[in-house]
Chains A and B, each alone.
Chain A
Amino acid sequence: MNEITIDIIAGVIALTALTTAGGLLLQTLSRRFRVDGSPLVAQIDACLPQTQCGQCGHPGCRPYAEAIASGESINKCPPGGRDTIEALADLLGKEPIPLDAAHGITELPKVAVIDETVCIGCTKCIVACPVDAILGAAKLMHTVIADECTGCDLCLAPCPVDCIALVPRSWPTRDIKSTDSREVIARG
């Protein structure tokens, strides 16, 4: 063996030793200094509008927050619109992206109203409401607590007599800042 080969072998051994030692060090450190738990889901949940509408494909805002925390895209919340996407992008250090039109478009927030003359008191909407904003009992007329209604429209489908309608809120609301749907289409 010539000198250069020895040099090379010495170097490789030194480097291997260095990396092995480093690897072992990191391994022990990661064992000794383990930390668990992450408050991320709660932070994500705080950015969501809490309509519990399920338009994102999850049964409520918290489940979507959990999905985002494990990597789902942040643009599936139409009621939150641009504000929510920007807040999420900010929180997660991502670039804001336009709303995914497949999940719907941002509209002015609404409230459900039950036409009390038509309602037959079947309680199906009460079961559907994610925030318990509908009052009533079997065979008795139902009514929506407008102040608690998130306008999620989940009560519309179950109603057998179509007596529920979504109407614009009677109190002032913020201007919506939806991402332009044309932009979504243009970007495919």
Chain B
Amino acid sequence: MAECRIIQSPRRLAGGLQRADGKALSLSQPLMQMNPPVLQLALPDTLEDTPLERWSIGDQIEAGQPLFTTQEGITQACPRTATVESVGTGKTLSGSPTPCRLLNLTVVDPDPPRQPSLTPLPANPDGRTLRQRAADAGIVGLGGGGFPAHLKWQHRLHTLIVNGAECEPFLTADEQTMRLRAPAIWDAVVALMSALSLQRCVLVLEDNKPEALAALQAAYPSVLDAQDVCITVIQSQYPSGAERQLIWLALGLEIATTTSPVEHGIVVHNPVTLAALADALHGYPLTDRIVTVTGPSIVTPGTFQTPLGTPIDLLLSQAGGLRPGHHNVFHGGPYTGWPISNTAAGVRATTACLYAAPVVSQTPSPCIRCGACAEVCPVHLQPQQLFAALTHDQLDEALHVGLSQCLECGACDVVCPSNLSLTKTFQDGIQDHQLQQAEKQRADRARTRFEARNQRLLKRSEADETRRAVRRERSGSALDRIRAARAEETH
């Protein structure tokens, strides 16, 4: 058996946070299987084909059968054998004003699919087969991005980075997966490396996950050349798992914000995504994902193997429910999570964590320019300058000083002594900028259309004018002829 190469990263983030990670909270319990009686799947806005036409109420759908396909080619399989209860519109997780279309299912057979619904792939699939399989099996970034995996593989790639950093406190989905499914992760690495002919693979782990490291080491497959593959251990620090930061920590390479890592031949995948990919190779599409339910307000935090579409309520009650009092439930971790307003909605592929914490009201005080935010900013922005510009209606200045480079990681919020909602302000600013760009494009289009119309009207009136002139001339000559004829008659 080959030995796995383990490297200590010589780099550490300038900035970032080092706080108590709270991960033990949910890792003290073993992984539990969720068996929900109902499922609620939110349909993406843009669908290649809609289930509305294919399914009618009362129809039974087998587990693993395709439900719908998005425009990006991602096919979602039915998580469990179930009957269609209703298809309609309803509130989303975040409670955004535009309703989304929902597919409600009543589960018939609560067990996960036992038979592969797709044909298992041979040992070393080629790139095309692998891309097709990932799309058919619905493999998207399960770390939280939700970006379709097969689209990343369209680029010429040379390096695979497995993002096992899981730097945000309380999050344990990646760690639990690495502990329990290390062989599957390596399987996916082997398949990816051969199919995409990658030169190297770096699996990055934070140093607060010794169990995961041991599991990965033990499962290291002999087929992988230790020259090309290594595990890089980095210092536990938030947000070392952000894509560009991770690449820098692993390879010492800074990716310009105007380009994406795949354009540089580097693809980053989350271990949970890789485990799901390994299942897909054996013919099992993505039907379940691992969800951490944690936070100070959860009675018994833990990790749950959860069918997609499981109502959030159900998951929370499975974790012992919320403690008495006012609590917020966040989709994601304590720093990057956003509040869930509709807990009846179903779990998504990107739901890595549900974090519940008591509602705290903190009154913000004015910024005293202490610079604590700049100290922790992983991209070295000056959040206090961004904040001052945005709160005084100077979007252009905020963009000038790097608003669009903000990771929205929330580190500045944590350290701000004035309790300012910096990240929220930046998110709003970024959104405002996008709307402004859209407005500008509309204005430009309106201008061209207006000018084109004016040109057309001008041309038409000119054409009318010439036609009239021609007619006048012709009629003039006709008159002359008549006059001449009359004159002849009289003579």
Interface residues of A (CB under 8 A from B): 45, 48-52, 60-62, 130-133, 147-148, 150, 172-175, 177
Contact = CB atoms under 8 A, between A and B. Distances in A.
Interface residues of B, number: 17
Contacts of A148: 445-446, 449
A52 B453 CA distance: 12
Nearest to B433: A174
B159 to A, nearest CB: 38
A132 B447 contact: no
A167 to B, nearest CB: 15
B32 interface: no
Interface string B239-270: 00000000000000000000000000000000
Contact of A174 (B435, B447, B451): B435
Interface string B431-444: 01001100100111
Contact of B436 (A52, A61, A130, A174): A174
Contacts of B453: 130-132
Contact of A150 (B393, B446, B454): B446
A45 B451 CA distance: 12
Given A173-B435, A174-B432, A174-B436, A62 B443 contact: no
A109 to B, nearest CB: 8
B14 interface: no
Contacts of A177: 393
A148 B450 CA distance: 11
18 contacts: A48-B443, A49-B439, A50-B444, A50-B447, A52-B446, A61-B447, A62-B447, A62-B450, A62-B451, A130-B450, A130-B453, A131-B446, A131-B449, A132-B453, A148-B446, A148-B449, A174-B432, A174-B435
Contact of A60 (B435, B436, B450): B450
B452 interface: yes
Contacts of A173: 435, 439
* Chain B at the A interface: SS class: helix
B93 to A, nearest CB: 18
B435 A172 contact: yes
Contact of B449 (A45, A133, A172, A175): A133
A175 B442 CA distance: 16
Contacts of A60: 450, 454
Contacts of A61: 447, 450
Contacts of A133: 449
A49 B443 contact: yes
Contacts of B442: 50, 147, 150
Contacts of A132: 449, 452-453
Contacts of A130: 450, 453
A132 B456 CA distance: 11
B455 to A, nearest CB: 11
Nearest to B452: A132
Contacts of B450: 50, 52, 60-62, 130-131
Nearest to B445: A148
B127 to A, nearest CB: 38
A62 B435 CA distance: 23
